[in-house]
Amino acid sequence: MTGAPLLDVVTEVVLDPQHGLATQRRLSCVYIVDAAAFPRPLLITDEGINVAPGLTDKRDIVQNAIEVAHAMGLQTPRVAVLSAADTIEAKLPSTLDAAALCKMAERGQITGALVDGPLTFDAAVSVRAADERAIHSPVAGRADILVAPDLVAGDLLARELAVLGGTQTAGLAVGARVPIVLAPRGGGDRSGLAACAVAVELAQARGAA
């Protein structure tokens, strides 16, 4: 499960100098969701560690999730930066952050993926919803990674999918020198093994780099 205990325990361990795990990258949580009604896995971030991330934090959160997607074999994952609107609204700071993250990807500050936003959840995962709103984007309706605006939104999304979608999940904390496997929301040993497998691939990729 996630929340304050996960935030406190993981960050305390990683930031302790004697463990040598900390890096310049912000630590974040990535949950890999396998929903029975959806044709491919979805990565949700961050729903477990960063409570109210700023723009620089979100840049690291996005890059961490991209690295996990690469470890899963997705060469150019599609990243949807979520908000409550599909257009930039001054009264919704999350839409401004989404637009800034897209520009950062365009300028090479985020690499290895297609990034678009702001997008609502349905426009991010449903081609039909995106078409109905005339959203023309290589990400809309085809997202592999869903970036929540804050921990509350990410946690609600993950829990809703777990309860209503019959999902299997595998969780990782990334951004440290090694990936950290998190306790699964459901699925028991199968989810735990999936998380370990992705962690091994990610660690090997970093070692090769």
2-57 residue pLDDT tens: 445 566 777 788 778 888 888 889 999 999 888 777 888 899 999 889 999 999 99
Query: Is position 171 within any domain?
Result: yes
CB 58 within 8 A of CB 147: yes
Question: Domain of 199: which CATH number?
Answer: 3.40.718.10
Query: Is position 39 within any domain?
Result: yes
Which residue range(s) make up the domain with 23? 4-203
Contacts of 59 (CB under 8 A, 6+ apart): 101, 104, 109, 110
Report, as an integer, the average pLDDT of 152-176.
Answer: 84
Q: Give pTM, 2 decimals.
A: 0.91
What is the separation, in whole angstroms, between the first and last Cα of the chain? 32
Query: Is position 209 within any domain?
Result: no
Q: Structural domain tally of the chain?
A: 1
What is the reported pLDDT for 39?
Answer: 84
- Answer yes or no: is pLDDT of 121 > 90: yes
What is the reported pLDDT for 11?
Answer: 77
Alpha-carbon gap, residue 184 to 173, rounded angstroms: 12
